Structure formats: structure tokens, C-alpha cells
Structure 1
Amino acid sequence: MAYHYDLERLGYSKNDILLMIHADDAGLSCSENAATIEALKKGTVTSFSIMVPCPWFGDIANFAKQHPQYDCGIHLTLTCEWKHYKFGPVLPYSEVPSLVDERGFFHTKREQVKKLAKPQEVKKELKAQIDRALNAGIKPTHLDSHMYTLGLTKELLDVYRELGKEYKLPIFLSDELLEGVGNLGSLQESDSIVHKVHIGNFKAMQSTGLGELYTQMLNNLTAGLNVILIHPAFDNMEMKQVCVDHPNFGSEWRQMDFDFFTDPNTAALLEERNIKPITWRELQRTIH
């Protein structure tokens, strides 16, 4: 059985409601970068992570280097889910052929990664992604996994763990996310996991909007380490083109994420409920 982070060691009580509002997918686009930066500076977002293989990596890497006070992880990437907007590995695709399609781009779906990706090539590519981030001056606080592909199989999860140990960084693990990719029961005694992970859903976005759902989430948070995963971006022409035929986690969704978590009313609700912000930088101190 995996264990939860030792939050009392960090000075918190067992009754504290701790929350990390974490922005995924920085580097994906100019829109994603701009919204993420503004959410960090003006909103309630406490952590973000960067997709190294994406075209806008250099822009967000420069921000992270110049603003080391912000919690920043590496969003380890093995898939490219977009219809027309494509990117591939950091390494030449000839070195990691099991990770790419016939055009040299990452596979679109997780199931393709599960079926085709060779663990040794996965580790080789992900080390290259981390090293590129380090060489760009980023000082990462953790590792996490785009679309949670590294939770798909025992072999991929082993690669994830190995990278965390090698770079002395916490890895984002959750039994809920493992269940979501069909791999619940693969946690080990040495794994540190997040108590509760919260993500918006497409049905709510279409009906009442994500703001109502997120308000309910915040009102219902319980003691322990909670993470809300968001994907802030602006619903502009660039992001609409990235998200063609992909409304789930699409351009409209990402604008809702940005709007809610930069709204002063959200900050007021966090204060009212005495919800305490926490970052991966703090959790790093629990790694021996």
C-alpha cells in the first residue's frame, strides 16, 4: 500500500485542508503560456508544468528561468491528441520509433502508447525531455505525466519511478488517476500519493459551466492533500485551431479554467474555508 505525503512533518495538522491548484500543458501554445503566466501572477494557481516537446517550450522555459519562485514541473509527454496541431519527440524519431506514427509525430491516443511504446525508448525520450528543461535553466519541482500515460502499465510506471529517483524529484501519483487509465492496484509501498485529485468534466462544462462545478469542489474539499488539475488558456483563434474537433479539454474549457481561478471570488472562497495553498516545492522536502 502506498503512503500519503507526511504533511505533519511540513508543519501542517491532520485536519488542514491543503490545496494545490495545478496548471498543466504550459508550452503547448502561446495562448496556454500567456494564460498560465497570468494565472500564476494574479490568480490562485500554485503550480504549473511544462510540455518540453511543444513549439512554445522556449517561451515558457524563459519565464520559468526568470521566475524561479513559481512551482514548476516537467509534464512528461508521450502523446499528441490534437487533430492538426502536431509535435513529436525531443530525440530524432529514428531513435525512438515505437513512440511515433508514420509521420514521426507522437501517437494520438493513450492506447497506442500502451500497445506500441517500448519502455526503454520511453525512458530515453523522457530523460531527453528533462535534460532539455534543465539545460534551459528550469529548476523543476516535480515530474508529472501528460494524459497520465505513465500510469498505463506496470512497465511505464516503473520508468516513471526510476526518473523520479534519478532526478531526485517527486512524481505525481494518485490511485484515482491510475484507476482512470485502468491500472489501479499497481501502487507500491514506497510510493507517495496525493489524497484526492479533482478534474473538471465535459458534461458540466456543456451544461452549467465549470465555474459551478469548481465552486462545489472547493466547498466539499476535505482534510489532506488535494490537487485540482486545470488547463488555463485563452479561447482565441490560436487555441481554437489547436483544439479543432476536440471540445473535451478544448479551447472553451481552458478559458473557463482561467476565468474561475483568476476570479477574486475564488480567492475569497479559499480564504473563507481556510483552505491552505501548497506546492510541490514543499513536498520535495519529504523526499529522503
Structure 2
Amino acid sequence: MHNLLEKLGYTPTDKLLIIHADDAGLCYAENRATKKALKEGIVNSYSIMVPCPWAYEMATFAKENPAFDCGIHLTLTCEWKHYKFGPVLPANEVPSLVDGNGHFYPKRAMMKENANPEEVKKELIAQVERALSWGIQPTHLDSHMFTTGLTKGIIQVYREVGKLFKIPIFLSRQLLNDFKMDTEQYLRETDFTIDNVFTGEWKWFEGEGLAAYYDWSLKNLKEGFNIILIHPAYDDAEMQGVAIDHPNFGAAWRQCDLDYFTSNRTKNLIEKYNIKLITWSNLKAILHKD
């Protein structure tokens, strides 16, 4: 880890941070907010959900704004009550990944129970290939609901897809532990991981508020690599419809994310705590070398 820090021009005591926006492409409210967070805020990384209806619109933005860090948010689940989507491949080519309606399963446990790793690989490759066909130049791969960490076999598929396209993948022992996946044992010493991960929690949202959580996160960043995962969107009729009966990471939650990471106060905290912002683009030139 220290060697990687040195290659990037940092010291072991530096606090490095990626502020990453998940779920671009989910819907228009998500896209509008992600663009604002990149252009007017301090968000410096985002990733696109290729199977979603608004993914192409966000891909157009990515092509026109190559300076912004852009990854592919590999998607194998769809957690929303009425807003549904499925694989980019025909459902009959990846039947283990879909329900009777051809939609992704809403929960990680259902996906884990049913998914065939070979079909996972076919679908993930198809998602990357579609993104590339749209002109996206991905800086990294990450995973919606971190489903690529569900089993030893799926983690290996994730590695293989990253290696195939020579794109770094986001892995985290902390997230595997937080989601109680019991798969940390399958990470390798050669895997690059970011184990200081901060993402909003329900107890904060209904308690002191997400702004208080993010204040705490910035104050408590550790030396080395850190990442804050957010989900910016506008709390409008569209996002409220997507997130109906889903307050956790719902419309109001996502508006809080947008507001916090576009505020001047937050920019000042980054300076106050001597936090150095980095991106996956910084890492890509070093990681995943054959």
C-alpha cells in the first residue's frame, strides 16, 4: 500500500479521498443531480448503471465531459417496488439472473441463491461492452449493492471482467463485512482494496441527519485511501416515484447527498482537514498491469 502511495506521489500519512456518486443512469433526477455534483460540487467520481433507462443520456454526458472520472456501476439487482429493469442481454440468455418477469431480483439474497456465475460473467461483459459502444472510457468498475462480492465465484468473475478490459475494480473488505457477506476470506493479497469506506446509514438519516454523518466522516478519515459513496438525486416527483416505500436511500436521502456535496461549507471542511482528493483515473495507470 505504501508503495502505491509513493507511486502516486503521496506519503503514508496523507489522507486520500474519492467522493463517488453511485447510480448515474438510474433516472433523470439522478442524472441531473450527478452532473451538478460534478460541475458545481466536490464529487470527483461517478458510475453509470448501464441497464437503466437513463443510462444512455448519462453516457452522452460522459463522452462530452471526459475530464470527470466515470466508471461502470455493474448492475445485477433492482430494489425498487414499481420501477423495474433487467439485464442488457435477453433474459433467456441469463435466466438465473431474472425473475418471472425478466427483471433483476430486488435483494442480494435472492440473487445469491439463483445466480449462475457463468451467466453473471456474460451479463457483466455485456454491460461493459455496451458502455464502450456508447463511447464511455471507464476509469473503473464498481457494483450496485456490491453484489459482485456475494460469493467466491462471483468475486472471481468480477476480477476476470476487470482483467479482460484492463479496468480497475472496486473491492473492499469493509463493505463485504458490513453487508455480512462472509466473503472477505476470498480476497487476495494482490487485490487492491479500499477499506475505509463511508456511506450513509439509516440511523443517521432519521437521527442527526446525513449532513452530520458526512461531517463525522470527513473528520475521521484515515491515512491512506478512503472513499465516500453517495447517491445524489433531486427529491422530485420522478425520484419519489422510483423510491416509493423505500425511504432508505430514497428521494429525500438523495437530495441530502446532493445538497451536502455541493455546499461551500463542505469544500471548506476538505481544506480544513487537509484532505487530498484523488480519482480512479489516478489509480488506473498503476493498477491492473499485466
TM-score (normalizing by structure 2): 0.97
The code of the aligned residue for 1:236 comes to D
Once the 2 structures are TM-superposed, how far is the Cα of residue 112 of structure 1 from its aligned partner?
0.9
Counterpart of 2:76?
A: 78
Inter-partner Cα distance in structure 2 for 1:5 and 1:280: 17
Task: Please list, as runs of the form range in 1=range in 2, the aligned pairs for 1:140-179 lying within 5 A after superposition.
Answer: 140-179=138-177
Counterpart of 2:186?
A: 186
For the Cα contact (< 8 Å) 1:5–1:192, is it kept in 2?
no
Inter-partner Cα distance in structure 1 for 2:272 and 2:195: 22
For the Cα contact (< 8 Å) 2:175–2:195, is it kept in 1?
no
Counterpart of 2:268?
A: 268
Task: Please list, as runs of the form range in 1=range in 2, the aligned pairs for 1:1-288 lying within 5 A after superposition.
Answer: 6-181=4-179, 182=181, 183-287=183-287, 288=289
TM-score (normalizing by structure 1): 0.98
Once the 2 structures are TM-superposed, how far is the Cα of residue 5 of structure 1 from its aligned partner?
7.5
For the Cα contact (< 8 Å) 1:19–1:228, is it kept in 2?
yes
Once the 2 structures are TM-superposed, how far is the Cα of residue 180 of structure 1 from its aligned partner?
2.5
Q: Alpha-carbon deviations, 1:239-266, whole Å to 9, x = none?
A: 0000011111111110000000001000
Q: Alpha-carbon deviations, 1:208-236, whole Å to 9, x = none?
A: 21001100111111211100000000000
Once the 2 structures are TM-superposed, how far is the Cα of residue 203 of structure 1 from its aligned partner?
1.2
Inter-partner Cα distance in structure 2 for 1:101 and 1:152: 18
Deviates more, 1:79-88 or 1:278-287: 278-287
Percent of aligned positions that are identical: 57
Q: Which runs of 5+ in 2 are unaligned?
A: none
Once the 2 structures are TM-superposed, how far is the Cα of residue 164 of structure 1 from its aligned partner?
0.8
> What SS is found at the alignment partner of 2:47?
strand
Inter-partner Cα distance in structure 1 for 2:104 and 2:195: 31
Q: Which runs of 5+ in 1 are unaligned?
A: none
The ranges of structure 1 where at least 4 consecutive aligned residues each deviate by more than 2 angstroms after the TM superposition are none
Once the 2 structures are TM-superposed, how far is the Cα of residue 178 of structure 1 from its aligned partner?
1.2
For the Cα contact (< 8 Å) 1:17–1:224, is it kept in 2?
yes
Once the 2 structures are TM-superposed, how far is the Cα of residue 4 of structure 1 from its aligned partner?
7.5
For the Cα contact (< 8 Å) 2:47–2:71, is it kept in 1?
yes
